[in-house]
């Protein structure tokens, strides 16, 4: 019973969620995220509330985010880069930059993945496969060890050969999306979740076990 109760607390907690079901006429600029506490930064106004992205050179849309050491974070979204060629990319990731120029976003990316308009999906810049979009991408950022790690998934396929272990842990200040070149496309079903560090589970389950034991001894 103790482990069952502890497992309820071990489930992921939602930090941000944006389904992108709003108006195609309204930019994300300055709007509050649907679930969570934060406002979108989209300095070019090309990212819309319905998830459409107008083709423009180097644009981005981000939310403030700083990871807490000891947690595991999962970012997930469905992307479709719908116009252009290999150079036209729509991507998501953890960054050390605010919204605006994705040249800055790209150069300070900690972990990122996405797709180009030719159907290639990319992880940290490398072309790793070809699948027609839309595609659901997932990045798992693990800060529980001394050296942080990231894992990457495309449509729940684990891209194991792109596992990332940081030599120097990055400074992350935002999470969100970027474009390279004049990519048009769509974004849907964005979420960012956190699972607390494993030691918290053991402390919690141990505390629950002691509580149940004391109740049994006292007859409650």
- In this predicted model, what pLDDT tens digit does every residue of 107-156 receive, in sequence order? 556 789 999 888 888 888 777 888 888 999 999 999 999 999 999 999 99
Long-range contacts of 208-217 (CB under 8 A, 24+ apart): 208/1, 208/2, 208/5, 208/6, 209/2, 212/1, 212/2
Domain spanning 14-197: CATH 1.10.10: no
Which of the 8 DSSP states describes residue 132?
P
pLDDT of residue 216: 53
Who contacts 93 (Cβ-Cβ below 8 Å, separation ≥6)?
A: 75, 109, 110, 111, 112, 113, 114, 139, 175, 176, 178
pLDDT of residue 50 exceeding 60:
yes
């Amino acid at each position: 019973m103790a482990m069952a109760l502890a497992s309820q607390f071990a489930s992921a907690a939602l930090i941000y969620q944006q389904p992108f079901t709003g108006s195609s006429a309204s930019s994300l600029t300055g709007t509050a995220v649907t679930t969570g506490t934060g406002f979108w930064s989209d300095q070019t106004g090309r990212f819309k509330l319905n998830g459409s992205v107008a083709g423009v050179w180097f644009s981005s849309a981000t939310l403030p985010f700083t990871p807490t050491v000891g947690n595991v974070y999962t970012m997930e979204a469905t992307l479709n880069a719908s116009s252009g060629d290999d150079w036209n990319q729509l991507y998501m990731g953890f960054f050390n930059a605010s919204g605006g120029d994705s040249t800055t976003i790209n150069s300070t990316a900690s972990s990122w993945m996405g797709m180009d308009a030719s159907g290639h999906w990319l992880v940290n810049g490398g072309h790793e496969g070809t699948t027609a979009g839309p595609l659901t991408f997932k990045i798992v950022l693990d800060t529980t060890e001394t050296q942080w790690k990231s894992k990457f998934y495309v449509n729940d396929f684990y891209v194991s050969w792109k596992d990332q272990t940081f030599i120097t842990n990055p400074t992350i200040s935002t999470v969100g999306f970027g474009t390279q070149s004049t990519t048009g496309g769509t974004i849907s079903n964005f979420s960012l979740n956190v699972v607390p560090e494993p030691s918290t589970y053991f402390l919690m389950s141990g505390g629950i076990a002691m509580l149940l034991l004391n109740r049994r001894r006292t007859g409650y």
